């Protein structure tokens, strides 16, 4: 199991890089990281259950301007990681569902608590950019590349460190809960999963509809037609 944990923590670092400093290819989105973790741990079911919920909650979290959004990059990795760790020890359906519940909790908490860390990195980078301008004016053009490298290394280091701490805390605090109260937690999952999915899906619908009546009608018509076709054809 140790290499699984190591791979999870490293993925946390990569996700932290993709979120803002490098390329923004959406590798850091919870559904992508959960799928990768599902492959690493060999448990798609739990990983994707957590990934779907966190992805829907993360889809409307926008990195616009200087706003520091919730850190769903690390949250997605930690959420799926905690769930997989908890489920790995007890491969029963009820335990898997309770593991998914604690995984989503761990992911959301990690995402919320990650905001001050993102702000801290940005403040540190302020000093870096001032230093860089001074160095360039002094004749050291390579300072721009050095500053960029420093920014990347800092983001990766923070991502790895934060993922490791959250994963360890999540497994330590929530793991015994899953083992001891799986029936209650599985019951809670039956309520929380549709509620979370609804919350996230509503934000996505709002993003498309943008208060235009024609699009609201399009959305509702799609629900009705697709539902009818599903019931009639069965697939």
Partner 1 sequence: MDGLRRGDLWRMAWRTLLLQASFNYERQQGLGWAWALQPALERLHADPERRRERLAAHTAYFNTQPTLASLALGAVARLEEQRAAGAGPDDEAMTRVKGVLGAALAALGDRLYWFTLRPFVACLGVLMVLAGSWLGAVALWVCYNLFHLGVRFLGVFWGYRAGTAVLEPRLRGRFERLTEVLAVTGAVLAGVTTAWLLAPAGQPRPLVFEAVLVAGLGLGFVVGLKPRPSLAEWALGAGVLCVVAAWFR
Least separation in angstroms between residue 3's CB and partner 1 is 21
Q: Is 162 in the site for partner 1 (CB under 8 A)?
A: no
DSSP state of 120: H
- 45-83 CB burial, b ≥16 within 10 A, e <16: ebbbbbbbbbbbbbbeeeeeeeebbbbbbbbbbbbbbbb
* Cα dihedral 197→99→61→198 (10° resolution): 10
Cα-to-chain-centroid distance, residue 210 = 25
Q: Is 207 in the site for partner 1 (CB under 8 A)?
A: yes
> Which span sits near partner 1 by CB under 8 A: 2-10, 60-68, 85-93, 166-174?
60-68
Least separation in angstroms between residue 95's CB and partner 1 is 15
Q: Toward partner 1, which CB reaches closer, 2 or 64?
A: 64
Q: Which of residues 172-201 bind partner 1 (CB under 8 A)?
A: 184-185, 187-188, 190-192, 194-201
| Count of positions on this chain that bind partner 1 (CB under 8 A) | 104
Radius of gyration of the chain (CA): 21
Least separation in angstroms between residue 147's CB and partner 1 is 6
Q: Toward partner 1, which CB reaches closer, 2 or 232?
A: 232
Q: Using the rule CB under 8 A, which residue among 4, 148, 161, 168 binds partner 1?
A: 148
Q: Is 81 in the site for partner 1 (CB under 8 A)?
A: no
Residues 139 and 112: their CA atoms lie apart, in Å, by: 42
Helix, strand and coil in the chain, % to nearest 5: 85, 0, 15
Least separation in angstroms between residue 4's CB and partner 1 is 18
Q: Is 97 in the site for partner 1 (CB under 8 A)?
A: no
Q: Toward partner 1, which CB reaches closer, 2 or 150?
A: 150
Q: Which of residues 106-145 bind partner 1 (CB under 8 A)?
A: 108-109, 111-112, 122-126, 128-130, 132-133, 136-137, 139, 141, 144-145
Contact criterion met (CB below 8 Å) for 46 and 94: no
Least separation in angstroms between residue 67's CB and partner 1 is 10
Pick from 158, 115, 170, 177: nearest CA to 5? 170
């Amino acid at each position: 199991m140790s290499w699984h944990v190591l791979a999870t923590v490293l993925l946390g670092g990569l996700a932290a890089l993709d979120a803002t400093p490098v390329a923004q290819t959406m590798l850091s989105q919870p559904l992508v990281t959960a799928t990768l973790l599902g492959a690493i741990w060999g448990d798609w079911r739990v990983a994707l259950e957590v990934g779907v919920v966190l992805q829907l909650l993360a889809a409307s979290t926008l990195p616009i301007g200087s706003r520091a959004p919730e850190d769903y990059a690390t949250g997605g990795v930690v959420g799926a990681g905690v769930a997989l760790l908890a489920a790995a020890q007890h491969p029963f359906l009820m335990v898997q569902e309770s593991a998914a519940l604690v995984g989503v909790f761990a992911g959301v908490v990690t995402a919320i608590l990650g905001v001050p860390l993102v702000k801290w990195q940005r403040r540190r980078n302020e000093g870096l950019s001032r230093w860089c301008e001074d160095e360039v004016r002094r004749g050291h053009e390579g300072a721009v590349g050095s500053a960029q490298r420093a920014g990347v290394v800092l983001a990766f280091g923070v991502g790895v460190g934060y993922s490791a701490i959250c994963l360890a805390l999540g497994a330590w605090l929530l793991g015994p809960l899953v083992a001891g109260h799986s029936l209650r937690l599985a019951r809670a999952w039956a309520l929380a999963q549709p509620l979370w999915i609804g919350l996230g899906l509503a934000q996505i619908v709002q993003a498309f509809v943008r208060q235009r009546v024609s699009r609201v009608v399009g959305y509702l018509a799609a629900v009705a037609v697709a539902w009818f076709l599903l019931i009639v054809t069965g697939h």
